[in-house]
Amino acid sequence: MFHTKNHKQLNIFDPWSHLGPKRRKIMDNSWAGLFRKEILSELPVEALRDYYDDFNGRPTKELYSMVGLMILQQMHDLTDEEAVEQFCFNVKWHYALDVTNDSDTCSYVSLKSLWTMRYQLTEKGLHEVLFDTVAQKLAKVFKVGFANQRIDSVHIQSNMRHLGRISLFVRTIKKFLLNLKRHHAGLLEALETDLTTRYLQMKEEAVFALVKPAGSHAALDQLAKDVFSLVERFSSVQSVNEMSSFKLLVRLFQEQCIVEEHDGEKLPVARPNRDISSDSLQNPSDPDAGYSGHKGKGYQVQLMETYDPNSFEDSLSLITHVAVESADRSDANALLPAIESTTKTNMAPVEILADSLYGGDDNCQRAKKEHGVDVISPAMGRTGNGLSLDDFALDASGQIVACPEGHSPVRVSHKKRFSAAFNGSDCRGCPQREQCLVKPGKKAAYLRYSKKEVRLSRRRIQEQTAEFKDKYRFRAGVEATMSEYDRRTGVKKLRVRGLKAVSFAAVLKAIGVNIRRAAACRQWSRTTYIPLLQPLCPPIWRILNIDEQIRSRFATNTTWINQNRRDNLADLKMAA
């Protein structure tokens, strides 16, 4: 039965009075107080109604506290057993989740209940809804501006072993044969004894464990033959085709092997390493993982956050977008989906900082045209020490006015591409002829270029200005976020496998980072700004003793205070 508690309803008697004023103050100033006051009642538990009846059955655990438990577990990077223990005995968790009763009904949760809640949230994709809900609430409470944001990615690993090609073949074949034995024992008994013995009766990978590098190619060819024989044998058996382990076997063969014909006979062989795609199967235990030549096997998280160029300590840097994808995906394809995602949640940027992979010309043009977002990013393209279009003088329309040596073109035309014709005699005597882009033709020397090259050239010139450097220096701050994301939550080495489970963990860990940052921001502002107000107007502290009222009554930064000190003193006299 669906069971929740109204956490916005006030209590006649304070259930936390036993903590005492000092401990209560510490609790309120911590992440637990922020979670209980601002976040707990906003959690989207109504989306879980489909799993429970409104009247029949035993009541569930209080669902707000259960969903909150999911967030706190990832926020503190705990195992299931550790999370259950904290839920049962940690007063700080009880305060955050508003668990006011010490009975087993309220203060105890079983591992099965934990697993059930995680399954429900994952299947419905509610972890993304949770992230958006918490981010929007914190943005409202802390008055976060979304105009300036920055994006980057971080490589993460699921709980899978990194396998070489031989181990990958052996593990995939063994996984299929074990499932075949479990569900279709008769079909397994009909297979050749040598094949089943090689993978099931020997110790794991014993047959191929001592393969020397010189014999690895022959071993792979033998494995390719075994995979081919199994695929050919069971391709017409419908019940086997529906097995996930058989689908992995087929995928392995398609990605790692080819069939050659010799004298009319089919001969399966392993593909060369260079022909293996980066999105190929990396481990049968985690078929969603990909491979990056730069970072390795696993997944990557695309993360976008706000920043305030005019303030550092007192503003909340809020993560607004988190997306998990396989490691083989390029950052170039992540920018527009991130902007579209934040647009749907009303957290879209006006200006976004990114590195050169995100800031391709097509991305910059589409971001500006479709979403009105300016992408501040270094342009890719110029390599080597030779001359480039950057060294030519261009007018506003992109036509060349003069070459690096000061010679003007005899004519300039523009259809699909620009074409500038220079006097051949000027080019033949040019000292930079070997490095120049202008090439001799029949009637003149020509330089042909596109509008895209003009845009990239102007961007590279803009990168050398003080204005660009002053803006782009804030992109480095996202690296600190990635470090905090890992150190605080352990996101780089997860305990789960599969895209769904990895996404769930990574997104909830990002929620945890937002909560910790918000709590630190609130605590910093209370310990910094309010003491600055005390020397200015001591009597007011006896009239108004609530931090929020004081902060709303007076300024939240020293500049405002200095500008309005006389007005404050006049108001103080009137209040007295």
In sequence order, which residues have a C-beta less than 8 Å from that of residue 78 and are 6 or more positions away? 86
The 10s digit of each residue's pLDDT in 184-193 is: 999 999 998 8
The answer on 301 and 185 residing in a single domain is no
The answer on 445 and 310 residing in a single domain is no
The answer, yes or no, to whether residue 556 has pLDDT greater than 50, is no
323 assigned to some structural domain: yes
The pLDDT, as a whole number, for residue 246 is 95
pLDDT band at residue 425, thresholds of 50, 70 and 90?
confident
Of the three residues 405, 439, 457, the one that is the final residue of a domain is: 457
The pLDDT, as a whole number, for residue 300 is 95
pLDDT band at residue 526, thresholds of 50, 70 and 90?
low
Mean pLDDT of 400-407: 88
Domain span at residue 77 reads: 17-124
Please tell me the total count of domains within the chain. Answer: 5
Smallest Cα–Cα separation from 184: which of 232, 242, 227, 144? 242
In sequence order, which residues have a C-beta less than 8 Å from that of residue 528 and are 6 or more positions away? 313, 314
Mean pLDDT of 407-436: 86
Mean pLDDT of 199-217: 67
pLDDT band at residue 523, thresholds of 50, 70 and 90?
confident
383 assigned to some structural domain: no
Structure tokens at 74: 């990832």
The pLDDT, as a whole number, for residue 331 is 92
The answer on 478 and 354 residing in a single domain is yes
Instruction: Tell me the Ramachandran region of residue 91: left when phi exceeds 0, alpha when psi lies from -120 to 50, beta otherwise.
Output: alpha
Structure tokens at 548: 């929020």
H helices of 184-284, in order, are 185-189, 193-196, 216-234, 238-241, 244-256
The 10s digit of each residue's pLDDT in 92-145 is: 999 999 999 889 989 999 999 999 999 999 998 999 999 999 999 999 999 999
Q: For residues 537 and 541, what is the distance between their CA atoms, to the nearest angstrom?
A: 8
Average pLDDT, the chain: 86
The answer, yes or no, to whether residue 202 has pLDDT greater than 50, is yes
The pLDDT, as a whole number, for residue 438 is 87
Contact 353, 304 (CB under 8 A): no
The answer on 269 and 185 residing in a single domain is yes
356 assigned to some structural domain: yes
489 assigned to some structural domain: yes
134 assigned to some structural domain: no
The 10s digit of each residue's pLDDT in 169-184 is: 999 999 999 999 999 9
Residue scoring higher pLDDT (439 or 154): 154
The answer on 497 and 566 residing in a single domain is no
Mean pLDDT of 401-407: 88
The answer on 260 and 180 residing in a single domain is yes
The 10s digit of each residue's pLDDT in 537-555 is: 444 434 444 444 444 444 4
Rg of the chain over CA atoms, in angstroms?
32
The answer on 331 and 366 residing in a single domain is yes
The answer, yes or no, to whether residue 558 has pLDDT greater than 80, is no
* Residue 421 CB coordination number (10 Å): 19
The pLDDT, as a whole number, for residue 196 is 87
Q: % helix / strand / coil in the chain, to the nearest 5?
A: 50, 10, 35
102 assigned to some structural domain: yes
Mean pLDDT of 489-509: 95
Q: 447 φ, ψ to 5°? A: -130, 120
The answer on 197 and 271 residing in a single domain is yes
The pLDDT, as a whole number, for residue 122 is 94
The pLDDT, as a whole number, for residue 207 is 58
Q: What is the DSSP letter of 157?
A: B
Smallest Cα–Cα separation from 479: which of 120, 154, 75? 154
Q: How far is CA 361 from CA 350, 352, 366, 452, 552, in A?
A: 18, 14, 9, 7, 45
The answer on 418 and 483 residing in a single domain is no
Mean pLDDT of 84-88: 96
The pLDDT, as a whole number, for residue 562 is 46
Of the three residues 457, 476, 498, the one that is the final residue of a domain is: 457
The answer, yes or no, to whether residue 210 has pLDDT greater than 70, is no
Mean pLDDT of 362-387: 87
The answer, yes or no, to whether residue 248 has pLDDT greater than 50, is yes
Residue scoring higher pLDDT (231 or 562): 231
Q: For residues 147 and 151, what is the distance between their CA atoms, to the nearest angstrom?
A: 13
Contact 460, 379 (CB under 8 A): yes
Q: 372-411 as b/e, with b when 16 or more CB fall inside 10 Å?
A: ebebbbbbbbeeeeebbbbbbebeeebbbeebbeeeebee
188 assigned to some structural domain: yes
The pLDDT, as a whole number, for residue 312 is 61
Structure tokens at 175: 């996984």
3 assigned to some structural domain: no
The whole-model pTM stands at: 0.85
The answer on 506 and 358 residing in a single domain is yes
493 pairs with which residues across the strands? 157
The 10s digit of each residue's pLDDT in 298-340 is: 999 999 999 999 876 668 999 999 999 999 999 999 999 999 9
Lowest mean pLDDT among 4-8, 118-122, 532-536: 532-536
The answer on 119 and 22 residing in a single domain is yes
Residue scoring higher pLDDT (344 or 539): 344
The pLDDT, as a whole number, for residue 415 is 83
The answer, yes or no, to whether residue 557 has pLDDT greater than 90, is no
The pLDDT, as a whole number, for residue 340 is 96
The answer on 470 and 358 residing in a single domain is yes
